[in-house]
A and B are shown apart, each in its own frame.
Chain A
């Protein structure tokens, strides 16, 4: 019988639980630490690691053989004042052993996320892991499982395209603009309207290093306010970047060539349009505000360089005739939606490749787990063989010179290495866990018996 500890997960996630239940199950960092402590106090629990995000609250447990994860969890949750019954109810999912590891690897690869391939889950798992390591000592299985999960997630992100392509309107706008201008830093954007949607899209453009952003709004005060807000956020982001990377020059708001934000009065919309490469329009106007003659004039000044216009307002801000102007490329919400749907489908096609990587990592984890089982017995066997060797070498040393003894020692060392290697490989390649347990038992019995006998018997003479 294996005496190794096992991994379990109890999860409340967006697949099985509505928002209300997920809100109730949420664990803030303080509660998560308290839960870890409470579970560690349980005799049958080696360690625990709670992960709580807006879409999931999952508690990973490493249990000693025979331990009941549900009982331990119920007691610990009750102790910290959380709703224990949620994790035993209809909305909870329980997985034990290798399925629990598989689930963790899938979560780390963003296959279980609400938005397939979303990048945040990796950071959220790392935060939970750091918190757990700071406040408790994780068991070997839990530790290894999380390390494997991070490696799996990284492989899936780098070896597949599961994270590529925008799946939100704001990011979709940036992606579409980047089909025109690969170096956004060298281009100017114009935001027409200062509403919430426009501000969000503008933030995305600034995050992707648009060279300059001009805000034009009917209310100049609101335009100035939004420009100041966006500029402030941009400067703060650059400062954070500088802090993260000491090699980067510290950027002051005035000297930053990328991401400078300004505003212009509504009357100058035509001029602002002529200066822009990317136009985002998001006003609440009932009539189009960007007219064909304005665009025609802007295009004429561009020497053939394309002008990208994106209308994310309802009703539309850009006159439909603009679409017919050569050199002007006008898109709307429907186009963005089509791109997003295409990207979602493309991500879905990457799932089999991600699952292949997960299967490979699972096999590696399983091998490690098997070796963990074998390790104590093999270590004992090794110490037994080394004891024999030392006795034999000691005998040779008495009868022969030190050089001969050293040669025998080295030769026997090689012999032990080969015997151990062969034994390990035979045990690892057992056809079933039962067969391996039987082999382990036999090996243990042989050398324990031999060890006993050897103590009563003189060493073999040459």
Chain B
């Protein structure tokens, strides 16, 4: 099992790199070979990654989603899988190099600095965690895609404004398509986030009755991470209402989508770094030394429930 896990740690970033390379090659020269193989490579990578998650789950007796780097790895596969579905439905590969690039980056960081976390919180073995975590993962995947498509919208707008009719102009889809994809992703992400928050609250109340009093006291609905998540949810919901009823469209709407995602990263980073939260299910022993050094945010201010 350990050998297999070590193999996946090396294999997965390489596979993501190959997929990204194929999409980059396709973007650059529109060669028939990557056109034929890029999607297939992507599908194989997703399957191998899913297999690695299954193996990891058996090895850890829990979903590998406790530590931020484990979450990053799952976000990579979720992004790639969602992108492949979109690509196959819309028959457009023009945005593949960006999404697969982001997936590669996430997987590379995750695989390079992650170790299995043997002393992770027992909460992660609770069945309630799986449902909550999967919904969180899906909602963040949707919001990440919305961010990517909003960025591409702004890039294409810039190309058109500056009359630059190069590769980006030719390969990227229409502004209308990019906007539809970005808003469509938010439309999926917002209800998923709402469900994940509701399920998280229910799980928390359920746990309170089962945990010892001092541990149960730490489970607060006023946890900064939960509060920030509600603010993010409300922000995106207002955006959707504006788009639907107030005619918020075009460049301004996409700037808003980019801004919103940037705020997610910033606020979650700040909360993780400066505020105590029960949403830390790992210890520093569960993380590789370089990661602890590079990402102090992941190890400082920790109050684990273990």
A residues in contact (CB < 8 Å) with B: 159-161, 165, 178-183, 302-306, 326-327, 329, 331, 335, 338-339, 342-343, 346, 349-350, 353
Contact = CB atoms under 8 A, between A and B. Distances in A.
Contact of B170 (A303, A326, A342, A353): A342
A343 B165 CA distance: 10
Interface in B134-175: 156-157, 160-161, 163, 165-166, 169-170, 173-175
Interface stretch (B27-35, B98-106, B270-278): B27-35
B181 to A, nearest CB: 10
B247 A165 contact: no
21 contacts: A159-B36, A160-B32, A179-B160, A179-B169, A180-B176, A182-B174, A182-B180, A303-B246, A304-B248, A304-B250, A304-B252, A304-B253, A306-B157, A326-B251, A327-B251, A335-B163, A338-B165, A342-B165, A342-B170, A343-B170, A349-B29
Contact of B163 (A304, A326, A331): A331
B216 to A, nearest CB: 49
Contact of A303 (B29, B30, B177, B249): B249
Contacts of A306: 157, 175, 250-251
A178 B173 CA distance: 9
Contacts of A178: 174
Contacts of A329: 160-161
Interface centre among B156, B170, B246 (most CB of A within 10 A): B170
Interface string B231-250: 00000000000000011111
Nearest to A350: B30
Majority secondary structure of chain B interface residues (helix, strand, loop or mixed):
helix
Contacts of B165: 335, 338-339, 342
A181 B176 contact: yes
B93 to A, nearest CB: 12
Contacts of B31: 353
A161 B248 contact: no
A239 to B, nearest CB: 29
A159 B180 CA distance: 28
A448 to B, nearest CB: 49
A303 B247 contact: yes
Contacts of B157: 306
Contacts of B248: 303-304
A353 B29 CA distance: 11
Contacts of A305: 249-250
Contacts of B250: 302-306, 327
Contacts of A161: 30
A246 B252 CA distance: 45
Nearest to B172: A179
Nearest to B255: A304
B30 A346 contact: yes
A326 B158 CA distance: 12
Given A303-B248, A304-B250, A342 B166 contact: yes
A458 to B, nearest CB: 61
Contacts of A335: 163, 165
Contacts of A338: 163, 165
Q: Which of B30, B176, B253 is packed against the most chain A CB atoms within 10 Å?
A: B176
Nearest to A329: B160
Closest 10 CB pairs of A and B: A303-B247, A304-B250, A182-B174, A182-B177, A304-B249, A304-B252, A305-B249, A182-B176, A181-B176, A339-B165
Contacts of A303: 246-250
Given A160-B32, A179-B160, 15 more contacts: A179-B156, A179-B169, A179-B174, A179-B175, A180-B175, A181-B176, A182-B177, A302-B250, A303-B246, A304-B249, A304-B251, A306-B250, A327-B251, A338-B163, A350-B30
A373 B259 CA distance: 71
Nearest to B251: A304
Nearest to B252: A304
Given A160-B32, A350-B30, A183 B176 contact: yes
B155 to A, nearest CB: 12
B80 to A, nearest CB: 24
Nearest to A179: B174
A161 B246 CA distance: 41
B173 A182 contact: yes
Contacts of B30: 161, 346, 349-350
Interface string B262-291: 000000000000000000000000000000
A338 B169 CA distance: 12
